[in-house]
Structure 1
Amino acid sequence: MNAAITVVWWNINPSPGPATGRIYARSYPMKTGMFTCGHQRLPIEHAFRDASELGYDGIEIWGGRPHAFAPDLKAGGIKQIKALAQTYQMPIIGYTPETNGYPYNMMLGDEHMRRESLDMIKLAMDMAKEMNAGYTLISAAHAGYLTPPNVIWGRLAENLSELCEYAENIGMDLILEPLTPYESNVVCNANDVLHALALVPSPRLFSMVDICAPYVQAEPVMSYFDKLGDKLRHLHIVDSDGASDTHYIPGEGKMPLRELMRDIIERGYEGYCTVELVTMYMNEPRLYARQALERFRALLPEDER
């Protein structure tokens, strides 16, 4: 880990809106997280070990088989996750159950399918709570080509209302991730996020930005900071080709990442940045996790590395 350096930043308004001119100081570098999805063909201990040895500050648990599928955790697997976090002294920054349609998608299918998806997400929140994760992260996957907008948003509001009530009851933060238009037709940009937050104004509901999503839509990444304020809870950092939802290691795509990270730092972002390598680099997850972290830190000012 790197020593903490005091830097100065411009604080964002605690409510959605433009940045203010107030100056504050912080005494730690940018915090990084590793996503375990890329390790899914290896035992999950490899992910914890690599995150610790390579110098990541925390770990984001992917909730799919064979590692951390919520029903498997409930059946006893949660003990291993908690033990690994303790053994490797690796904070679990969040738990991300697989909600993009295989097999769970709360936005598509009949009532039985919707109910099954919501029940799984509630169980995921329970497991996130037990593993001491900072949040549960979900997405609104594709709602189908023939579904009209009023039905889409009505279903989303009903789903989020039920999930947020559960989150409030158990004390778990729920993060709604906007997806690219290649993945979904529901919540894909900052205005969609604002709409969702307005539909369900829960103190436990937040959002985040995977920077690939705005980039492929020619939407400024920093517009999320302007519009969401303190409802922006988390970042997924990747590189992008600008024409697909493919997640690249920093430096392999077209994004002006160095300049973007300077803007993010100047806004005073205090959360984690998960370097989100998914399935493209599964053949050598440790090597690419090392390369991704080194490249990400090279993008930062020296006092933030």
Structure 2
Amino acid sequence: MKLGMFTSGYQRNPLEHCFIDAKRFGYDYIELWGGRPHAFAPDLAAGDINEVKRLIDKYGMPVRGYTPEHNAYPYNFMIGSEAQREDAVKYLKLCLDMAKEMGADYMLVSPANAGYLATYKEIWDRMVRTLRELTEHAEKVGIKLVVETLTQYETNAFKSANDLIELFQRIDSPFIMGMCDIVPPFVQHESIMAYIEKLGSKMYHMHIIDGEQGTDSHIMPGEGSIPMPELFCELKDAGYEGTATIELVLGYINEPRMYARRAVNNVRAMMAQAGY
């Protein structure tokens, strides 16, 4: 199983720190957060993509995934007027173009909150229409579109393995795939391992991080309540050999370099114990 560094927690540091640390701490790849100041897609298209390519080449550290900022301000394709949805789609198509140019394998999206007045029909109609447009663009550029479920604290639209199954029944394409951030199923009392069994070949990626009941906080692996050593044993027994990004986010923004080191060391130790 390949381990990735998520760069959101480094947003107060130079982007180069991410590449330096991913290499010296033993990460296999970077999942690049697409927000300012580092990798906002319009900035990349205006020339900043050359800096990302330079860092990839300098440190021999691939950007396997690109995760644009799109769950709140100013982009959330699940809420607002049709013009706002179309603007979000235009932005995310540009993100797919930039993912392709930096040599990424996938781009990650997650349907956020659709607003308190949206009905299930309105939610699903809007979500499927949007993701179909993005999938068609992903097919053109040759990048996988990986769709992530979120917690009930983040979304009223897309929260479970069953939601992913429903989505794949409505959009049939090898370029749209699913993943599991292990916090959403844990805090919603859903089985983490059920994602692997239910999604089968559509299970493409994971976010590995610890959690606590009653919050969507992403906690240092091994320091929360998820039985992570046992989880890695189950993943090994299930034959999961895909990618897994260690998703430290803003809770560790004061010292991302120290915590990124601890996180990968903790995870590597648990993987070794599980036989990876």
Q: What is the match of residue 140 of structure 2?
A: 169
Q: What is the match of residue 135 of structure 1?
A: 106
Aligned length: 276
**Which amino acid in structure 2 is aligned with residue 133 of structure 1?**
A
The answer to whether the aligner puts 1:92 opposite 2:31 as a matched pair is: no
Q: What is the match of residue 150 of structure 1?
A: 121
Structure with max Cα Rg:
1
- 1:221-260 correspondence to structure 2 within 5 Å: 221-260=192-231
**Are the aligned partners of 2:107 and 2:143 in contact in 1 as well (CA < 8 Å)?**
yes
The alpha carbon displacement at 1:99 in A equals: 1.4
Deviation digits for residues 62-103 of structure 1 (CA, Å, limit 9, x no counterpart): 000000000000000000001101100001110000111121
**Are the aligned partners of 2:229 and 2:274 in contact in 1 as well (CA < 8 Å)?**
no
Q: What is the match of residue 17 of structure 1?
A: none
Q: What is the match of residue 121 of structure 1?
A: 92
Distance 2:275 2:147 in 1: 27
The alpha carbon displacement at 1:266 in A equals: 1.4
The alpha carbon displacement at 1:301 in A equals: 3.0
**Which amino acid in structure 1 is aligned with residue 73 of structure 2?**
Y
**Are the aligned partners of 1:96 and 1:138 in contact in 2 as well (CA < 8 Å)?**
yes
Distance 2:201 2:273 in 1: 26
RMSD over equivalenced CA pairs, Å:
1.0
Distance 1:146 1:140 in 2: 16
Within the candidate set 216, 238, 243, 1:267 is matched to 238
**Which amino acid in structure 2 is aligned with residue 167 of structure 1?**
A
Within the candidate set 18, 21, 32, 1:47 is matched to 18
**Which amino acid in structure 2 is aligned with residue 214 of structure 1?**
P
The answer to whether the aligner puts 1:218 opposite 2:189 as a matched pair is: yes
**Which amino acid in structure 2 is aligned with residue 90 of structure 1?**
M
Normalised to the residue count of structure 1, the TM-score between the two structures is 0.89
Q: What is the match of residue 16 of structure 1?
A: none
Q: What is the match of residue 21 of structure 1?
A: none
Give the secondary-structure state (helix, strand or coil) at the position aligned to 2:78.
coil
Within the candidate set 199, 203, 208, 2:170 is matched to 199
| Unpaired stretches in structure 1, ≥5 consecutive residues | 1-29
Normalised to the residue count of structure 2, the TM-score between the two structures is 0.98
**Are the aligned partners of 1:262 and 1:301 in contact in 2 as well (CA < 8 Å)?**
no
**Are the aligned partners of 1:178 and 1:209 in contact in 2 as well (CA < 8 Å)?**
yes
Structure with bigger helix share is: 2
**Are the aligned partners of 1:85 and 1:92 in contact in 2 as well (CA < 8 Å)?**
yes
**Which amino acid in structure 1 is aligned with residue 74 of structure 2?**
P
Q: What is the match of residue 262 of structure 2?
A: 291
**Are the aligned partners of 1:250 and 1:295 in contact in 2 as well (CA < 8 Å)?**
yes
**Which amino acid in structure 2 is aligned with residue 46 of structure 1?**
H
Distance 1:180 1:303 in 2: 27
Within the candidate set 76, 91, 113, 2:47 is matched to 76
Identify the range of structure 1 (212-221 vs 197-206) with the bigger mean alpha-carbon deviation: 197-206
The answer to whether the aligner puts 1:183 opposite 2:154 as a matched pair is: yes
Q: Percent identity?
A: 50
**Are the aligned partners of 1:190 and 1:227 in contact in 2 as well (CA < 8 Å)?**
yes
Distance 1:296 1:101 in 2: 30
**Which amino acid in structure 2 is aligned with residue 97 of structure 1?**
P
Give the secondary-structure state (helix, strand or coil) at the position aligned to 1:280.
helix
**Are the aligned partners of 1:32 and 1:58 in contact in 2 as well (CA < 8 Å)?**
yes
1:303 to 1:143, Cα distance in 2 relative to 1, 3 A = closer
